[in-house]
Chain A
Amino acid sequence: MHPSTPIRELRQRRYRVLATLALTGFGLAVVGLLVLQVVQGQMYAELAKENRVRPEVLRAPRGAIYDRHGELLADSAPSFAILFQPFPAESLQRAREALSPAWLVRVAGLVGLDTVEVRRRVNLANVTGQSAVLRRDAPFAVLAGVEETHAELPGIEVQVEPLRHYPYGVLAAHLLGYAGEINGQELDSLAAGGYRPGDLIGRTGVERTYEDYLRGQDGVEYVVVNARGRRVSTLKESGARAAVPGQNLTLTLDLRVQKALEEAMADVSRGAAVVLDTRDGGILALVSRPAFDPNEFSHGLTRARWEELSQGGANPLLDRAIQGVYPPGSTFKIVTMSAALVHGLAVPETRLNPCPGGMNYGGRWFSCWEHRGHGSLTLVEALQHSCDVYFYQLGLRLGLGNLEQTARAFGLGGRTGVDLPQESRGLIPSSAYYDKRWGVGKWRSGLLLNLAIGQGELLITPLQLALVAAEVAGNGRALRPHLVEHVGSSRGYRIPRPLQSGLPTDASTWRPVQEAMERVVSAGTGTAARVPGVLVAGKTGTAQNPHGPDHALFVCYAPADSPRLAVAVVIENAGHGGSIAAPRAGQMLRTLFSPDSLRRVGGRVVRDTAGTAVIDSEAVNGD
C-alpha cells in the first residue's frame, strides 16, 4: 500500500518548491546579516562603543485656528524647555555627579523648583530612560543661566517645543477652549490614540471638539551625542520620522464682531452672548462671562490657580453661552406667538380680552408686568408691549401640546448640535414631564399661563435663544449652529447639515412675528437696541429666578429688512432685559454698523435702497 507513483512524484515536486522557498527565506536573512555585520559592521561597532545614540522626539506643532477672514486666533509658538537627559548606565560616574547635592541645588535654583522635586524627576528619568521636563517655557534669563553653566551641569539640556499661544488672550476663550498637558488618567484611556506623556490635548471648546484634526503626529530622530552629552550629529538611519503638523482650522467666527461683542459685554460679571449668521447658522461671536485666559494653561497652572478656575464660585471655565440654562422670560413670547400663528389659533389682528393689569384664573391672580394694564391689543401689539395678560390667554388657547411642539420645532429642549463640547439641552416640559413630576392628573392647566410668558419649567441656552431669532429672520428655515468653516485645505471635512426644523417656511406665517419684533425695538420695550440707519427686530425678557435678582435677556436680528446677524444676550441677576441686556446688543450693532468700521470687515460696503449701510453678504460670509 505505498502511495502510488504519480502521487509520489507530485509530492517530490511540491517538496522541492517548499524547500526552495524556505532556502530563499533563509538566504534573505543571511544577506541581511552580511550587510549588517560585515559591510556596516565597522560603523555599528563605532556607534556601540559608548552607545551615544539617543532618540529625540520631534514635537509636532498643533494646528492653528483662524477666524473667517484669516485672523490668527491660536497657534503654536516655539518655546524652550529645560530637560534632564538620563545618562547611559555605563556613565555611572556622571550619573552620581548628577545627583550630588551641589548639582541638585544649582539645578533647582536655575529652574525654580525645590531640590526634592528635582531629585524625584531626575530619579524617574534615570529609571525609565526618558528625559524629564524640569521647566516649560523657560524665560530668557533662565536659558542664559543654563547656557553659562552648561559645562558644569551634566545632563541638563535645552529643548525647543511648541507652546500653545492665544494672541488675544481672553477673547473668545470659551469658544476656542484650551489645550493642556495630558494627565495620567487620560493617557491610560487614550493609549490606543498614540498619546504620550507630555503631549498636549484639547480640553474644552474647539480645541477639544477638533482635537483629532488639530493634533499633529510627533516624529523621532536619532542623534549621536558626545561624552558630555552634547549633540554631535543626526543619524541617517531608517526609523527616523518627520513630525507631521496638525491641521489648521478656519472658524465662522468674525474677529471684528467678536471684538465688538466683547466690548459690549466688558463690564458684565456673569452672563453670555452669542451672534449667529442668520443665513447659515455660523457662529460669528460668542462671549461668556466671567472669562479666563487660555494662555495660562499653556504655561502649566499651579494647583491653587486650577482650583480657583474650576471650583471658584463664578466658574469661569463654564461656557454659559452653550452650557448655561436660563428661564427665557418674555423672549419666549416669540415662540408662543409663532405657535399660535403656526397652529392657526390666532391671526395678527386677533384681539383677546383687554388687559386690566392682570387676570384671574383658577382662583389665582396672574398679574401683568404693566400693573396699569394694556387695554385691548392685537397679537402684534401684544408682543410689541410684551403684554402678559394677552399671552396668558393665548397659552390657554394653544394648550401644552401645541406650545411644546412649536418650541421643539425651533430647536429648544434639545442640543442644537453645535460643534462644541458639553452643550446643554435646556428644558421644554411636556405633559409626560408633568405627569412624572407631579403625578398623572395632579397638575393643572394653570401652569400653561406661566409657560406662555416664558416662566415656569422652561430653560434655554443663550445659543438656543439666538437660534430662535435666526429662524424667525430666515422665515423658519432650518439652521445648525456651527463654528468651523473648514479644516486644513477643507478636503474631507463637511459642515454638518442642518437638522430638520419642522417649522413652516412660508413668509406669510413669519411676517407678523417679524413685524412685532421690529416694533419692539422701534416703539416697544427694546428701544435701547436701536441703531441709527439700521432696522433692528428684537424682544426683551426679564426672567424671574428663585436664586436671586432677575436675569436680563434680549434677543434680536439685524438688519430686519435683510437679516444678517442674530444676537442673544443674557445677563445674570442684573434686572430688566430692556434696560440691561438690550443696550449691550445695541452697542455692539452700532459698533458694527457704523460706516467707518465697515471697511475693516474686509468686504465691500453696500447701500440698500433706504441709503442704510449694511454689511455685504460676501463680506460677512467671507469665503
Chain B
Amino acid sequence: MATSWRLKSPGLDTPLLLAAVALVVIGLLTVYSATSVPGAHQGLWARQLLWAVVAAGLAWIVASLHYRAYDALAWPLYGISLLLLAAVLVMGSSAYGAKRWLELGPLRFQPSEIAKVATILVLARYFDQEKLDLRRFTRWFPALLITVVPFALVVKEPDLGTSLSFPIILVVMYYWAGMPASRLLLGLSPLVQAVLFLVTKSQGWAGGLALTLMLLCWALGRPRPRFLAMVSLLLLNAAVFVAVPRISNHLADYQMRRIETFLNPGSDPYHAGYQVLQSRIAIGSGGITGTGYLRGTQKALAFLPMRHTDFIFSVVGEEWGLLGTLTVVVLYALLVLRGFRLALVARSRFASLLAVGIVSALFYHVMVNILMTIGWAPVTGLPLPLISYGGTALVANGIQIGLLQNVALRRSEL
C-alpha cells in the first residue's frame, strides 16, 4: 500500500517525477506514431517535443521558486485569469462553435487552463486559516463564490468538460480543508438528487435517496447540522424534486437537443457516436499485446478522428494492447497517489491544499478522457494530461507537476 511508503528527507519526489516523465515520453512516442501517416498532421511530434522541453523548463522554474511567492501572487493571478476568460468570450477564436482559445501573436492558448491553477492557488490561500470552521456559512460560501466565477465563464465558452473540473476541485478541497464529509454530502444532496433523476428518470429513487442522504448526514453529523441549514437544504431538495422532472419533461425533444448541442458543440451524436465506436474498435483490436508500435491500422486509415489529441489513448490501446493501457493507468495512479501523499506529508497547510487541488484536477481529466475512449463517459473534448498533443495543455500540466515538486521540496517547512 502506498501509505507504507516513507518520505524521509525533503527532496524531489522521484516516483512522481519518473511517472510524469514516463507519461510525457509515452505521449511523444504515441504522437509520433499517430501523426506518422501522411496527412495534415504529419510531423507534429517535433512541435510536441519542443513543447515538452518548454514544459520541463517551466516546471523547473515553478518548482524552484518558494511556494510562498505563489501564495502571495494568488489573487493577482486569479484576477488576470478572469480577465483572460472574459477576453476569450469577447475576442476568442472559435472551433466547433465554441470560443476557447486566445491568440497572442503566434501563441494560442486556453485561458481556462490558467484559470484552473489560479483558482486552486486562491482556494488554497483562502482555506489556509487556523481554526477554519467550514460548517459555517460565512466560511464556506466565499470559497463557492471564488469557484463559481471562473466556472461560469468557462461554461459560457462553452466548454462543459473543462468547466466541471472547477466544482470537482472545490469539493475535494472543501473536504481536505476540514469540512466534515457529512456536511459535504448534505450540501451536495440536491445535486445528487438532480443527477440521479436524470440518470434513472425515477422521481422516487432520486428523491428517496436524497432524503436518506440528508437523514444520514443529520444523524452522523457531529455536532448536528443547524436547524436552519437542514430546513434550507430540505427546501432546496424539494425544489429540485418538483422542478427538475417538470423542466426535463416540459422541454420538447428538440429543445433538449439544442441545449445539448449548445453545452457541448461538436457533439453531433452522429459524429460523437462514430468516434467512440472507432475508438472502441481501435482499443479492442489491440488485444493483450497490441499490433505493435507504428503498426496500428486504425489510426493509419484515418478512422480515428483526433487520434493525436483527445483520442490518443486509443492509439496506445491499439498498438500496445492491454499491456500499454495498463502501464499508462498505473503511471497515472502512481502520479495521483503520490500527489495525495504529498498533501498528507506537507506541513504547511497552504502547500498541502495546493497539492490536493492540483491532483484532483489531474485525476478528473485522466478519468474523463480514458472512460470517454472506451465509451463509458460522454465525448467532452478533454485531452489526456501529459500525453495528448497540445502546447497549452502540456505546459499547464508541466506547471502543475512543477508545483507538486515545489511542495515536495519544501514539505517539512511550515
Q: Taking beta carbons and an 8 Å cutoff, which residues of A are in contact with B?
A: 1-3, 10-12, 14-19, 22-23, 25-26, 28-30, 32-34, 36-38, 40-45, 47-48, 51, 53, 55, 57, 88-90, 129, 191-194, 196, 212-213, 215, 217-218, 220, 222, 235, 237-241, 244, 492
With contact pairs A194-B257, A217-B253 given, residues A239 and B277 touching in the complex (Cβ less than 8 Å): yes
Given contacts A28-B367, A193-B257, 17 further A-B contacts (CB under 8 A): A11-B344, A15-B3, A28-B376, A37-B286, A37-B288, A38-B287, A41-B285, A41-B287, A55-B270, A89-B301, A191-B265, A192-B262, A220-B274, A222-B277, A237-B277, A239-B277, A241-B269
B184 CB, min distance to chain A CBs, angstroms: 11
B3 and A244 within 8 A (CB): no
- Nearest CB in chain B: distance from A545 CB, A: 44
Complex contacts, B317 vs chain A, CB 8 Å: 33, 36-37
B285 vs chain A, min Cβ distance (A): 4
B178, CB-defined interface residue at 8 Å: yes
Measured between beta carbons, the chain B residues less than 8 angstroms from A213 are: 252
Identify which of B64-72, B146-154, B324-332 touches chain A.
B324-332
Question: Is B297 among interface residues, defined by CB-CB distance under 8 A?
Answer: yes
CB-based contact A14/B301 at 8 Å: no
CB neighbours (8 Å) of B175 from chain A are: 14, 17-18
Complex formed: what's the CA distance from A17 to B182 in Å?
A: 13
* A244 with B374: CB separation less than 8 A: no
Minimal Cβ-Cβ distance residue in A for B275: A239
Assembled-state Cα–Cα distance A119/B286 (Å): 37
The minimal Cβ–Cβ distance linking B63 to chain A, given in whole angstroms, is 23
Q: Which residues of B contact A26 (CB under 8 A)?
A: 329, 332-333, 336
Q: Is B15 part of the contact surface with A, judged by Cβ < 8 Å? A: no
B374's contact among A12, A36, A220, by CB below 8 Å, is which?
A36
Contact of A33 with B297 in the complex, beta carbons under 8 Å: no
Complex CA distance for A26 and B278, rounded to whole angstroms: 23
Interface of A: prevailing SS: helix
A45-B285 contact given A33-B317, A55-B274, A241-B269, CB 8 Å threshold = yes
Cβ–Cβ contact B367 & A29, under 8 A: yes
Report the minimal beta-carbon distance from B257 to chain A, rounded to whole angstroms: 5
Cβ of A33 and Cβ of B277 under 8 Å apart? no
Whether, in the assembled complex, B340 has its beta carbon less than 8 Å from a beta carbon of chain A, the answer is yes
CB-CB < 8 A to B250: which residues of A? 492
Contact with A along B318-357 (1 / 0, CB 8 A): 1001100110010011001100110110010000100010
Cross-chain contact of A192 among B178, B253, B258 (Cβ < 8 A): B258
Q: In the bound complex, do residue A15 and residue B341 qualify as a contact, i.e. CB atoms below 8 Å apart?
A: yes
**B358 in the interface, Cβ–Cβ < 8 Å?**
no
Could you tell me the distance between the alpha carbons of A239 and B276 in the complex, rounded to whole angstroms?
8
A22 to B329 CA separation, bound complex (whole angstroms) = 11
A-B contact pairs, 25 of them (CB 8 A): A11-B344, A14-B175, A19-B2, A19-B3, A22-B340, A25-B363, A29-B371, A29-B374, A33-B325, A36-B374, A37-B288, A38-B288, A41-B285, A51-B281, A53-B281, A55-B277, A90-B300, A194-B257, A194-B258, A194-B261, A222-B274, A238-B375, A239-B273, A240-B273, A244-B253
Closest A residue, CB atoms, query B260 = A194
A14 touches B287 (CB 8 A): no
Residues of B within 8 A of A90 (CB): 297, 300-301
Chain A residues with CB under 8 A of B337: 19, 22-23
Residues of chain B within 8 A of A22, CB atoms compared: 333, 336-337, 340, 363
- Would you call B367 and A10 a contact (CB within 8 A)? no
Residues of chain B lying within 8 A (CB to CB) of residue A194? 254, 257-258, 261, 268
Hey, which chain A residues are within 8 Å of B374, CB to CB? 29, 32-33, 36
Count of B interface residues, CB-CB < 8 Å? 66
| Nearest CB of chain B from residue A190's CB, rounded to whole Å | 10
Indicate if B414 sits at the interface (CB-CB under 8 A): yes
Asked if B60 lies at the interface with its beta carbon under 8 angstroms from chain A, I say: no
Q: Are A51 and B288 in contact (CB under 8 A)?
A: no
Contact A15 B340 (CB under 8 A): yes
- Cβ distance A536 to chain B, nearest Cβ, rounded Å: 43
Query: Given contacts A15-B340, A37-B288, A194-B268, is CB(A29)–CB(B283) below 8 Å?
Result: no
State how many angstroms separate the Cβ of A145 from the closest Cβ of chain B. 31
Residue of B nearest to A8 (CB): B344
Q: Which of A12, A43, A244 contacts B284 (CB 8 A)?
A: A43
Given the known interface contacts A11-B344, A22-B340, A215-B254, the answer about A88 and B301 at a Cβ–Cβ threshold of 8 Å is yes
CA distance A239 to B258 in the complex (A): 19
In the complex formed, the residue of A with least CB distance to B321 is A37
* Interface: B388 (CB within 8 A): no
Taking A19-B337, A51-B298 as contacts, is the C-beta distance between A217 and B273 under 8 angstroms? no
Set A15, A51, A193: member contacting B343, Cβ < 8 A: A15
Q: Which residue of B lies closest to A33 (CB)?
A: B325
Instruction: Find out whether the CB atom of B414 lies under 8 angstroms from the CB atom of A1.
Output: yes
Q: How far is the CA of A240 from the CA of B175 in the complex (A)?
A: 40
B322 surroundings in chain A (CB, below 8 A): 33-34, 37-38
Q: Please give, as numbers and ranges, the residues of chain A lying within 8 Å of B274 by CB-CB distance.
A: 55, 220, 222, 239
Q: Which 3 A-B pairs have the closest CB atoms?
A: A44-B284, A239-B273, A48-B285
Min CB distance B134 to A, Å, is 13
Which of B172, B253, B270 has its CB near the most chain A CB atoms (within 10 A)? B270
Question: Residue B97 at the A interface, CB < 8 A?
Answer: yes
Contact between A33 and B344, CB atoms less than 8 A apart: no
**A193 and B258 form a contact (CB under 8 A):** yes
B280 in the interface, Cβ–Cβ < 8 Å? yes
Task: Check B280 against A217 for contact (C-beta < 8 Å).
Answer: no
Alpha-carbon separation in the docked complex, A40 to B343 (Å): 39
Q: Are B283 and A33 in contact (CB under 8 A)?
A: yes
B28 interfacial contact with A, CB 8 Å: no
CB distance from B411 to the nearest CB of A (A): 12
B303 at the interface (CB under 8 A from A): yes
**Complex-state Cα separation, A192 to B268, whole angstroms:** 10
**Bound Cα distance A217, B257 (Å):** 9
Cβ–Cβ < 8 Å partners of A10 in chain B: 178
Q: Compute how far the CA of A57 lies from the CA of B356 in the bound complex, rounded to whole angstroms.
A: 45
User: Cβ of B82: which chain A residues have Cβ within 8 Å of it?
Assistant: none
Which one of A3, A14, A196 has the highest number of Cβ atoms from chain B below 10 Å of its Cβ? A14
Instruction: Give chain B residues whose Cβ lies under 8 Å from the Cβ of A238.
Output: 276, 375
- Complex formed: what's the CA distance from A45 to B333 in Å? 28
**Which residue of A10, A23, A192, A492 has the most chain B CB atoms within 10 A of its CB atom?**
A192
How far does the alpha carbon of A10 sit from the alpha carbon of B132 in the complex, in Å?
14
Partner of B273, one of A14, A51, A55: A55
Does B218 count as interface, using CB distance less than 8 angstroms? no
Report the minimal beta-carbon distance from B193 to chain A, rounded to whole angstroms: 21
Residues from chain B with Cβ under 8 Å of A89 in the complex: 301-302
CA distance A88 to B278 in the complex (A): 13
- Residues on the A chain within 8 Å of B160, using CB: none
Q: A34-B322, A212-B254, A217-B254 are in contact. Are A17 and B181 (CB under 8 A)?
A: yes
- In the complex, which of the residues B285, B318, B333, B347 contacts A3, with contact meaning CB atoms closer than 8 Å? B347
Among B237-296, those with CB < 8 Å from A are: 250, 252-254, 257-258, 261-262, 265, 268-270, 273-274, 276-278, 280-288
Please name all residues of chain B whose beta carbon is closer than 8 Å to the beta carbon of A38 when the two chains form the complex: 287-288, 322
A25-B367, A28-B371 known; A36-B280 Cβ under 8 A: yes
Chain B residue nearest in CB terms to A40: B284
Is B370 an interface residue, CB under 8 A from the partner?
Answer: yes
- In the docked arrangement, what's the CA distance between A17 and B360, Å? 13
- How far does the alpha carbon of A430 sit from the alpha carbon of B60 in the complex, in Å? 77
Cβ–Cβ contact B298 & A48, under 8 A: yes
